């Protein structure tokens, strides 16, 4: 049976959900597939998995039409010669522009032959107070609607892969232009936000959950205070899962109901984490 490895980065669980659904859908079609969080595998192990796979997949959430920095670093770390078939997908709330084709271009430069690309609409994880109205929802029925829609796309992508039919959705000029327009300001201003998330000392109980969950070691407990060290990649994991809603964004406190807590009720963010920090 052919083997597939799917590597993903997921801040708050949406991409984890799609990666695991895809692995199951491929396995049902006689492609033995496993999904790996890039936080759980060292660079050397990734290279071994790629070498042992007939097909490789990559998934990430879209941040301002860009790839999260840990995923960019992961892609730069691996190289494949001779070329190997690959697929790429991103998860997004509304619109990513060229979210998947950007990753495809990066992967082609590393030697992958990207034959499939897809975008999945998932609930917004942007719970931070950026606008006067909420962008996120943590209501299970609303989240279930997104999952139903994405399930359909997972099955369709798996079928195209199993049949060996090329499939690229959202790889067109309009998406490329829209992606460029959103990505340029995002990249220009990202550095200003690398310390934007920090706990409110008045609400924080120093439970250290955020410290343990952070994929970049940006949060440190020192002298009974959680401090930041400028490595935030804006995954929003700390903000979403703090039991006290104590995380501040640019000094502003959470409002508008519970923050986004993953794609389904009881989602455990520890499923995502590992010792390999890429930032
Ligand atoms: C910093 C940041 C930027 C985002 N930018 C976009 C965007 O440009 N377009 C969009 O549709 N969703 C955007 N989102 C929403 C996420 O891409 C979406 O909710 C994704 O599924 C989260 O995946 P995860 O749970 O695996 O981290 C953004 C989220 C964050 C945290
Ligand atoms: S998870 Fe929340 S309460 Fe716990 S240490 Fe972090 S900010 Fe404080
Ligand atoms: S500080 Fe929070 S948002 Fe930033 S990388 Fe760490 S967990 Fe993600």
Architecture in CATH for domain 193-271: 2-Layer Sandwich (3.30)
Predicted pLDDT of residue 139:
94
pLDDT digits (tens, 9 = 90+) for 103-157: 999 999 999 999 999 999 999 999 999 998 999 999 999 999 999 999 999 999 9
* Residue 135 contacts residue 93 (beta carbons within 8 Å): yes
Residue 22 has pLDDT above 90, yes or no: yes
Topology alike, domains 3-185 and 193-271: no
Residues 6 or more apart whose CB falls under 8 angstroms from that of 35 comprise 6, 8, 16, 19, 20, 22, 23
Please name which of 63, 64, 67 lies closest in space to residue 38, comparing C-alpha atoms: 67
Decide: 206 in ligand 2 pocket, CB within 6 A: yes
φ/ψ of 4, rounded to 5, equals -130, 140
Predicted pLDDT of residue 28:
98
Nearest residue CA, atom 19 of ligand 1? 124
- List the domain boundaries for the chain: 3-185, 193-271
Residues 6 or more apart whose CB falls under 8 angstroms from that of 132 comprise none
pTM of the model: 0.98
Predicted pLDDT of residue 279:
77
* Residue 128 contacts residue 155 (beta carbons within 8 Å): no
* Residue 260 contacts residue 127 (beta carbons within 8 Å): yes
- Spell out which residues line ligand 3, taking CB within 6 angstroms: 197, 213-216, 218-219, 232-238
Coil, helix or strand for 110?
coil
**For the domain bounded by 3-185, which CATH number is listed?**
3.40.50.360
- pLDDT, average across residues 55-75: 98
φ/ψ of 50, rounded to 5, equals -60, -45
238 CA to centre of ligand 2 in angstroms: 8
Question: What is the chain's mean pLDDT, rounded?
Answer: 96
Residue 225 has pLDDT above 80, yes or no: yes
Ligand 2 atom nearest residue 203's Cα: 3
- pLDDT, average across residues 198-218: 97
Residues 6 or more apart whose CB falls under 8 angstroms from that of 231 comprise 194, 216, 217, 218, 279
């Amino acid at each position: 049976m052919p083997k597939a490895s799917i590597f993903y980065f997921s801040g708050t669980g949406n991409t984890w959900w799609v990666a695991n659904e895809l692995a199951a859908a491929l396995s049902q079609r006689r492609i033995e597939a496993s999904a790996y969080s890039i936080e759980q595998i060292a660079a050397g192990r990734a290279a071994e998995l790629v070498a042992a796979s007939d097909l490789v997949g990559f998934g990430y959430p879209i941040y301002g039409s860009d790839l999260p920095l840990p995923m960019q670093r992961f892609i730069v770390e691996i190289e494949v010669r001779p070329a190997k078939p690959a697929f790429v997908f991103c998860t997004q709330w509304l619109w990513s522009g060229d979210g998947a084709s950007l990753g495809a271009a990066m992967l082609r430069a590393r030697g992958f032959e990207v034959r499939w690309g897809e975008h999945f609409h998932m609930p917004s994880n942007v719970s931070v107070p950026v606008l006067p109205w909420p962008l996120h929802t943590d209501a299970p029925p609303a989240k279930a609607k997104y999952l139903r829609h994405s399930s359909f796309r997972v099955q369709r992508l798996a079928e195209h892969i199993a049949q060996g039919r090329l499939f690229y959705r959202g790889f067109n000029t309009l998406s490329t232009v829209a992606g460029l327009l959103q990505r340029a300001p995002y990249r220009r201003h990202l550095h200003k936000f690398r310390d934007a998330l920090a706990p409110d000392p008045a609400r924080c109980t120093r439970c250290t959950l955020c410290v343990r969950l952070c994929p970049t070691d940006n949060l440190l407990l020192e002298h009974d205070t959680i401090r930041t060290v400028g490595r935030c990649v804006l995954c929003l994991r700390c903000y979403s899962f703090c039991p006290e809603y104590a995380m501040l964004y640019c000094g502003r406190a959470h409002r508008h109901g519970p923050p986004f807590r993953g794609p389904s009720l009881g989602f455990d963010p520890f499923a995502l984490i590992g010792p390999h920090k890429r930032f």
